[in-house]
Amino acid sequence: MRIGRWGARRPDPATLVFLLAGLILTFIVVAPLLRLVWSSFQEARGGAFTLVNYVVAYGTPRHVTALVNTLAMGAGVVVLSSLFAAPLAWACSRTNMPARGFIRLSVVGAFVTPPYLAAIAWILLAGPNAGWINQAWFAISGTHQSLVNVFSYWGIVLVMSTNLFFYLFVYLTSALEMVSSESEEAANILGASVLQTAFRVTFPLILPAFLGGLVVIFLQSIALFGVPALLSPAAKFPVVTTQLLQFFEYPLRVQVAAAYSVPLVAITVLLFSLQRLALSRKGFVSVTGKGGERRPIALGAMRWPMFAYALAICTISVFLPWLVLLQTAFSRAWGAGLSFGNLTLHNFTMILWELGLARDAMIRSLQYASVSAFCAIALGLCIAYIVARRLVPQANILSVLCMVPLVIPGIVLAIGFYATYAPPPLALYGTATILILAFVTRFLPLAYTSCGSAIRNIHPEMEDAVRILGGGRLVALRRVVIPLLKRPLVGAWLLVFVPAVQELSTAVFLVGPQTRVISLILLDFSEQGNLEMVAAASCLLLLIILFVVVLGFRVIGRDFMLRSA
């Protein structure tokens, strides 16, 4: 009875936390977003109400083509990424495929390769005239007809997929690791083959994670800028982000850019409604309070073909690009080819010792990214929990708000932030705060979806048990949900941390003299044509990030991501 009285007198303290989360969301998402929508209806001079921006944005057939192209590209990336990620995630987490730890580590390598660098590497690999692959082909076939061309629709889709499939891999892996073997074994006992079990039992259980991952990949791909910037002009394949950039050239048309971005927000809302519809009448709870065992599935004769497939994916997405980047990083002149005289450590010593600027910026990036990742996860977890447990009516709105930043191109988001928070009274311009806030906003979708798919897999019965025994919702969160989610949360943290270290498009607009981050230094190097330094700095970043991954695994005391058993 004591418990009941306690509960009746005081409001659940969790409600306050959740209110706070909503408030923060208003501050970092709603305000800049409203500012964006508002400015899409404003005249450039004077700011009077107008629809002209929409007419300019969509009145030209070429601008509409870019939007259609973008959707086609997003669809291609979703398909290719699924082909990459789904078999790998399943094989790495549920089977006895050889070298699973190595494959996992390689997949992390794909993720920490900035898309922009991957695009450069792929120009060197699959350029129609001088790409390494084509040169090998010329030598073998004796023809001068190129085999592969990176400057094409499939080239763009491939380069994007090599980076983005990681998201799907992580979502699927963390979901697969929560599915117990019992249902799979039941299927086996009833005569289902390994593949049948995978498709009929395992796959349906991880559907929420799969759909969540697909949506994230789609939205990421249509807002990604670095890859199309390098590949799409030569492919004659204009997309939304390249078109948006034109609005930022002289004469500057920020309001038109805002108008052009608004449909992307609408696409996000639509996708989420579809995702909800697809998941609405099904249960996906696989982690309950009743235990459950997980045993790897024996692949038998399929072990080695599966491994060969995984190795092929890793070669395409990691080994080949990094071969190019390593060669560049250790070269005096990357175009001079492989020779002893061309080898040097100079690029590394420059960055580590001589260019204080680059080193400081790297440290700054790591700091901002870790703080941003913590904030984004905390916020994402709160909101994912509210939404999953339907703690407030219309929780779905929160979910959409969390996802919208994914499709707002970074530079547009940055302008919203700048306009809202740079002037007094907050006057945040030039501070680390505004950068971190922007990073949190930008990567909130990643934090939110990974927290969300993990929470959906946990049955409320365990929290109910806590509450029956007298614990409040916060106790349930702290003592049950978070411990259960430890591994997915570390994964989610990394998922935000890595792109935040490399974030360029928002940073470009928001950095002040004292807050320059490494991505801007890399941009400067690459604008100088100094690819050797870009590659060397990226190698150092890769090392640091891999170190953080290993550290994360030590801290958590589990075999996260590097499982080798």
Residues at the interface with another protein (CB under 8 A): 62, 120, 123-124, 127-131, 151, 229-230, 232-234, 236-238, 242, 245-246, 248-252, 254, 332-336, 342, 355, 357, 411, 415, 418-419, 422-424, 508-509, 512-513, 516, 520-521, 523-524, 526-532
Q: Following DSSP, what letter does each residue of 176-188 receive, concatenated?
A: HTTS-HHHHHHHH
CB nearer another protein, residue 210 or residue 421: 421
Q: Find the shortest distance in angstroms from Cβ 63 to another protein.
A: 11
Whether cis (ω within 30° of 0) applies to the bond prior to 425 is yes
Q: Find the shortest distance in angstroms from Cβ 423 to another protein.
A: 5
- The Cα 173–Cα 196 span in angstroms is 19
Q: Find the shortest distance in angstroms from Cβ 304 to another protein.
A: 36
Q: Find the shortest distance in angstroms from Cβ 375 to another protein.
A: 25
CB nearer another protein, residue 142 or residue 529: 529
Residue 455 CB-half CA count within 13 A: 24
- The Cα 468–Cα 474 span in angstroms is 14
CB nearer another protein, residue 68 or residue 130: 130
- The Cα 459–Cα 55 span in angstroms is 49
DSSP state of 388: H
CB nearer another protein, residue 458 or residue 510: 510
CB nearer another protein, residue 95 or residue 241: 241
**Joined tokens for residue 124:** 């060197």
CB environment 514-528: b (16+ within 10 A), e (fewer): ebbbbbbbbeebbee
- The Cα 402–Cα 379 span in angstroms is 9
Residue 154 CB-half CA count within 13 A: 5
Which amino acid is it at 19?
A: L
**Joined tokens for residue 358:** 């680059």
Q: Find the shortest distance in angstroms from Cβ 519 to another protein.
A: 12
Whether cis (ω within 30° of 0) applies to the bond prior to 251 is yes
The three-class DSSP label of residue 428 is: coil
CB nearer another protein, residue 22 or residue 131: 131
Give me the residue label for tokens 């100088």: 528
- The Cα 483–Cα 267 span in angstroms is 35
Q: How many residues does the chain have?
A: 565
CB nearer another protein, residue 176 or residue 510: 510
CB nearer another protein, residue 43 or residue 461: 43
CB nearer another protein, residue 128 or residue 472: 128
Q: Find the shortest distance in angstroms from Cβ 496 to another protein.
A: 25
Closest CA to 255 of 39, 33, 60, 414: 39
Q: Find the shortest distance in angstroms from Cβ 406 to another protein.
A: 22
Q: Find the shortest distance in angstroms from Cβ 354 to another protein.
A: 11
Q: Find the shortest distance in angstroms from Cβ 137 to another protein.
A: 15
395 close to 387: Cβ distance less than 8 angstroms: yes
Judging by beta carbons within 10 Å of its beta carbon (0-12, 13-18, 19+), is residue 269 exposed, middle or buried?
middle
Closest CA to 63 of 253, 262, 268, 239: 239
- The Cα 155–Cα 512 span in angstroms is 36
CB nearer another protein, residue 185 or residue 524: 524
Q: Following DSSP, what letter does each residue of 279-314 receive, concatenated?
A: HTT-----B-TT-----PBP-GGGHHHHHHHHHHHH
| Phi (first) and psi of residue 42, to 5 degrees | -105, 150
CB nearer another protein, residue 70 or residue 197: 70
- The Cα 112–Cα 492 span in angstroms is 14
Q: Find the shortest distance in angstroms from Cβ 58 to another protein.
A: 16
Using alpha carbons only, give the angle 501, 505, 509 rounded to the nearest 5 degrees: 110
**Joined tokens for residue 79:** 């398909």
Q: How far apart are the first and last CA of the chain?
A: 49
Compute the CA torsion angle 381, 384, 386, 389 (nearest 10 deg): -120
CB nearer another protein, residue 320 or residue 495: 320
Q: Find the shortest distance in angstroms from Cβ 529 to another protein.
A: 4
Longest dimension (CA), the chain: 87
CB nearer another protein, residue 54 or residue 151: 151
Q: Find the shortest distance in angstroms from Cβ 129 to another protein.
A: 5
Q: Find the shortest distance in angstroms from Cβ 487 to another protein.
A: 40
CB nearer another protein, residue 17 or residue 147: 147
Q: Find the shortest distance in angstroms from Cβ 117 to another protein.
A: 12
